[in-house]
C-alpha cells in the first residue's frame, strides 16, 4: 500500500521531502532529485520577502524559478516582520504557490543573529504572531520549519501547540537546537515529544536521516507523519527514492554505477547551463564536483585541480577521466 501524506488540502504521493537548502536546492537540483521518483514535496531556497516582491536582487529570478515538472513545490520565506511576511505569502500565493513555509530554524549567524530563522525561537511570542499573520493572509496551506529551540527542546513543544491552534498545516522539526547548529546527533525522541504534544497537525522529522535504515528508525521513534532530508540527497540524489520505495514495501534498486553517475552529473551540469549560462555554471558547479565524487578514490591534487577549471569542455573531459 502506497504511503501518502496530506498537508491541508494538498495530497502528497510520498511522506518523504527534500529540505530547502540555500545554495543547493535550486530548480536544476530539485529536478534531478525528482527524476528518481519518490519525492513528496520540495521547497525553494529561502526567500527574502523584500527581494522577492521588489525583484531587486539579480539572484531572485533564479531563486523563484520553477517548471511544470517541479511540483508540488513549497515556497519558503523568512524574516522577523509579521506584516511583511504576510504580504510576501499573499504575493506568492497570488502567483500560484500551493504551499507557504515559514523558516524559523535556520541557524546561520547572518540569519538567526538578526532575529530571523532560528532567532525567532528566542522570541516565541513573535514566532506565534508571524504564524498567525501568515495563516490569515492566504488560503493555501502554511507550514513552519523550526528547531527544538534556541538552547532547549521545550520551545518546540510549546510552539507546536500554539501553531496547531492557529491552523498551521504541518510543522517540520529539526532535532537540534540552534546552539548545536549541526553538531551532535539529531534528537529524534525530542521530535517525538513535539508530535505527542499536538493532536491533528502533522509533524515532519528532520535531521540525520541518511539511509533507508535511519528513515525506518525515525518513523518508529518519533511517530512522525513524514520525514525531510537535507544534506544526504546532495551526496546521493536517489536516497529519497530508496526510502520511499522501502516505505511502500517495494524492493530496493541498485545505486547508479559509474557511467550513470557521470551521465547524471552531465545532465545536472546542462540544466544549470541552461539556467545560469555555461560560464557561470562552471563556477557554480565547483561545489557539486566533490559531492558527485563521494566514495571514489580521487587524489586531493586532482580534486583541487577540478575545482579550478574555468572551461566547460575541459571540466567535462576531466570528470570523464576521473569518473569512468
Using CA atoms, how far residue 210 sits from 29, 164, 206, 220, 251, in Å, is: 18, 29, 10, 15, 18
Q: E strands, the chain, where?
A: 5-7, 10-12, 16-18, 42-43, 73-77, 100-104, 142-147, 170-174, 203-206, 226-229
Q: Is 106 a catalytic residue?
A: yes
State the burial class of residue 304 (Cβ atoms within 10 Å of its Cβ: 0-12, 13-18, 19+).
exposed
- All three cell numbers of 127, joined, read 514566532
Q: Residue 43's beta-bridge partner residues?
A: 74
Catalytic residue among 86, 106, 144, 293: 106
Q: Find out whether 147 and 105 touch, Cβ atoms under 8 Å.
A: yes
Dist CA 164 CA 51 (whole Å): 29
Dist CA 97 CA 177 (whole Å): 29
What is the set of active-site residues? 106
Amino acid at each position: 500500500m502506497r504511503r501518502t501524506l496530506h498537508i491541508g488540502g494538498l495530497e502528497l504521493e510520498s511522506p518523504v521531502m527534500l529540505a530547502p537548502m540555500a545554495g543547493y536546492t535550486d530548480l536544476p537540483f530539485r529536478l534531478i532529485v525528482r527524476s528518481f521518483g519518490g519525492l513528496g514535496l520540495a521547497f525553494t531556497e529561502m526567500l527574502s520577502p523584500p527581494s522577492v516582491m521588489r525583484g531587486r536582487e539579480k539572484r531572485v529570478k533564479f531563486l523563484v524559478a520553477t517548471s511544470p515538472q517541479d511540483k508540488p513545490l513549497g515556497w519558503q520565506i523568512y524574516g522577523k516582520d509579521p506584516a511583511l511576511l504576510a504580504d510576501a505569502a499573499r504575493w506568492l500565493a497570488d502567483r500560484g504557490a500551493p504551499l507557504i513555509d515559514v523558516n524559523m530554524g535556520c541557524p546561520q549567524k547572518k540569519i538567526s543573529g538578526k532575529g530571523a530563522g532560528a532567532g525567532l525561537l528566542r522570541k516565541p511570542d513573535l514566532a506565534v504572531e508571524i504564524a498567525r499573520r501568515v495563516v490569515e493572509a492566504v488560503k493555501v496551506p502554511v507550514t513552519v520549519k523550526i528547531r527544538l529551540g534556541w538552547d532547549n527542546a521545550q520551545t518546540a513543544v510549546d510552539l507546536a501547540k500554539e501553531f496547531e491552534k492557529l491552523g498551521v498545516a504541518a510543522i517540520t522539526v529539526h532535532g537540534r537546537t540552534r546552539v548545536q547548529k549541526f553538531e551532535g546527533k539529531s534528537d529524534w525522541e525530542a521530535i517525538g515529544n513535539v508530535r505527542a504534544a499536538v493532536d491533528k497537525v502533522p509533524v515532519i522529522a528532520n535531521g540525520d536521516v541518511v539511509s533507508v535504515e535511519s528513515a525506518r528508525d525515525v518513523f518508529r521513534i518519533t511517530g512522525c507523519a513524514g520525514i525531510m532530508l537535507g544534506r544526504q540527497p546532495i551526496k546521493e540524489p536517489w536516497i529519497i527514492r530508496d526510502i520511499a520505495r522501502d516505505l511502500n514495501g517495494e524492493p530496493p534498486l541498485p545505486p547508479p554505477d559509474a557511467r550513470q553517475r557521470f551521465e547524471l552529473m552531465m545532465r545536472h551540469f546542462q540544466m544549470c547551463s541552461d539556467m545560469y549560462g555555461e560560464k557561470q555554471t562552471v563556477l557554480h558547479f565547483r561545489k557539486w564536483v566533490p559531492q558527485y565524487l563521494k566514495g571514489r578514490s580521487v587524489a586531493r591534487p586532482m580534486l583541487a585541480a577540478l575545482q579550478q577549471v574555468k572551461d566547460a569542455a575541459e571540466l567535462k573531459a576531466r570528470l570523464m577521466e576521473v569518473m569512468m
